[in-house]
Amino acid sequence: MADTTFGPKGWTPERLGDQSGKTYLITGANAGAGFQAARTLLNKNAKLVMLNRSKAKSEAAITKLKQEFGINADVSFIRMDLSVLDSVRKAADEVLKFVPRIDALINNAAIAQVPTRKLTVDGFESQLGTNHYGHFLLNGLLFDRIAESKGRIVVVASLGYNMGLKTIKFDDMNWDQGYGANTAYSQSKLAQMMFAYELQDRLAAAGRGDVQVFVYHPGSSATSLITTSGSRTMRFIWWLMTKTPMVQTAEQGSYPEVMCATEETLTKQRALYGPTGRMEMVGPVGRGTLNTHAHDKPVMTRLWDESEKAVGFNWNL
C-alpha cells in the first residue's frame, strides 16, 4: 500500500524550510537528479559542495545555478573521479581542509548500463568501481566530519537491485564471466544499498546515534544517465520510455534525495524511499518496498570486509 506519510502528493520541496547554515555535499551534481537537488537546496540558502568528475560540466552547472540564484549563491565544486581511488582520496582531503561541516553527504553519482566490460585504473569492473567502491571510500574518509556535524549519509539505490543476481558475485567481482550491462549495474546498486544497511547496523552496534543513513531511489527519471554511458539500443529504448507516463522529470527524481538529506521527521532508516506511484517508478515520494535480499546479513557483512580490503581503508567504527 502506498505510503501516505506526506499526504497524497507525497514529499515535495514545499516542505523544505530555510537551510541557512547547512552544508550539503552531492556527488555528481552537474547533471540529472543531483543538479536538480542542488537547485532545490540552493533555493533555500544551503551551502552546496559538488563532488564532480568533469571540470567543464561543473563550471557550466555553477554558472547556471548562479544565474538562477544570484552571484552570492554558495555553490562550489571539488574535482573527484569516483572511478579512481586516488582522486577520491585527494577530493576527501580537500573537503576536510575546506568544508568545516557536512549536514549530509549525498552519494548521487553513478554510471549505468555500460555496454562492454571495462576495468577502472584500480582494477575494478567499472560500475562496481565507480558506484560502490568509490563511494565506500569517500564515505569512510569523510565519516568523522559527518559525525561531528551530526549529519546524514544518503545513498542512491535503483529498482535495478531487484534484477540480475540479487546478490554479490564474490567469486567473480569483476565479471570475468557472464558480464551484462544491466546485471553488473544492478549488482553495483545492490552493493551500494548493502553498504548503507550494513553501516546502519555497525553504527547501531557501536551505540552511535550521531549519523543517520538513508537509502532512496529516484524511480524512473529523465536524466542523462543512460545517454551518458548506455549502449545505442539502450539509449533508444530509454528515449521511447521517456515519452510515456512511466518516466518522470529529473526534478521529481530529485525529491527523495532532498527529503532523505533534510526531512527532520524521517526516522526509519532501514527502508527504501522513493516514488510510490505506478510500479514505484513514478509518483508521490514516500517509503516504498524494500526487499530482504538488499539486507541479507551474511552477504552485506562479507561485502563490507571485501570492500575495505579492495579500497585499502578500514572504517574503525
Ligand X SMILES: NC(=O)c1ccc[n+]([C@@H]2O[C@H](COP(=O)([O-])OP(=O)(O)OC[C@H]3O[C@@H](n4cnc5c(N)ncnc54)[C@H](OP(=O)(O)O)[C@@H]3O)[C@@H](O)[C@H]2O)c1
Quickly tell me which residue has 529529473 as its cell: 250
216 in catalytic set? no
Quickly tell me which residue has 549505468 as its cell: 112
Which among 62-70, 107-115, 143-151, 298-306 is the span making contact with ligand X, rule CB under 6 A? 107-115
Q: Which is nearer to ligand X, 81 or 296 (CB)?
A: 81
Provide, rounded to whole angstroms, the least separation between the CB of residue 108 and ligand X: 5
Residue 112 contacts ligand X per CB under 6 A: yes
Residue 126 contacts ligand X per CB under 6 A: no
Here's the x/- map for ligand X, 33-62, by CB under 6 A: it reads as: xx-----------------xxx--x-----
Q: Which is nearer to ligand X, 45 or 182 (CB)?
A: 182
Please pick, from the candidates 110, 194, 234, 282, the single residue that binds ligand X as defined by CB under 6 A: 110
CA 74, 80, 81, 82 dihedral sign is: negative
Q: Which residue is nearest to ligand X (CB)?
A: 32
Number of residues in contact with ligand X, rule: CB under 6 A? 32
Q: Which is nearer to ligand X, 79 or 301 (CB)?
A: 79
Pick the closest to residue 277 from 242, 243, 252 (CA basis): 252
Provide, rounded to whole angstroms, the least separation between the CB of residue 210 and ligand X: 25
Pick the closest to residue 2 from 282, 287, 268 (CA basis): 287
* Cell output for 15: 516542505
Quickly tell me which residue has 499526504 as its cell: 7
* Cell output for 132: 560502490
Provide, rounded to whole angstroms, the least separation between the CB of residue 234 and ligand X: 12
Q: Which is nearer to ligand X, 112 or 213 (CB)?
A: 112
Q: Which is nearer to ligand X, 32 or 140 (CB)?
A: 32
Residue 108 contacts ligand X per CB under 6 A: yes
Instruction: Single out the catalytic residue among 24, 133, 161, 185.
Output: 185
CA dihedral 271→275→278→280, nearest 10 degrees, is: -30
- Separation of alpha carbons 151 and 138, rounded Å: 15
For 67-103, the three-class secondary structure string (H helix, E strand, C coil) is: HHHCCCCCEEEEECCCCCHHHHHHHHHHHHHHCCCCC
Q: Which is nearer to ligand X, 80 or 211 (CB)?
A: 80
Which among 141-149, 216-224, 261-269, 285-293 is the span making contact with ligand X, rule CB under 6 A? 216-224
Provide, rounded to whole angstroms, the least separation between the CB of residue 235 and ligand X: 12
Pick the closest to residue 129 from 247, 262, 229 (CA basis): 229
Here's the x/- map for ligand X, 217-256, by CB under 6 A: it reads as: xx-xx-xxx--x------------------------x---
Here's the x/- map for ligand X, 255-294, by CB under 6 A: it reads as: ----------------------------------------
Question: At 262, which helix (H) or strand (E)?
Answer: helix 250-262
Contacts of 188 (CB under 8 A, 6+ apart): 110, 125, 127, 128, 130, 131, 132
Instruction: Give the length of the chain.
Output: 317
Contacts of 7 (CB under 8 A, 6+ apart): none
Contacts of 77 (CB under 8 A, 6+ apart): 29, 30, 49, 50, 51, 52, 58, 59, 61, 62
Please pick, from the candidates 37, 62, 111, 311, the single residue that binds ligand X as defined by CB under 6 A: 111
CB 189 within 8 A of CB 157: yes
Please list the active-site residues. 185
* Interface positions with ligand X (CB under 6 A): 27-28, 30-34, 52-54, 57, 80-83, 108-112, 130, 156, 158, 217-218, 220-221, 223-225, 228, 253
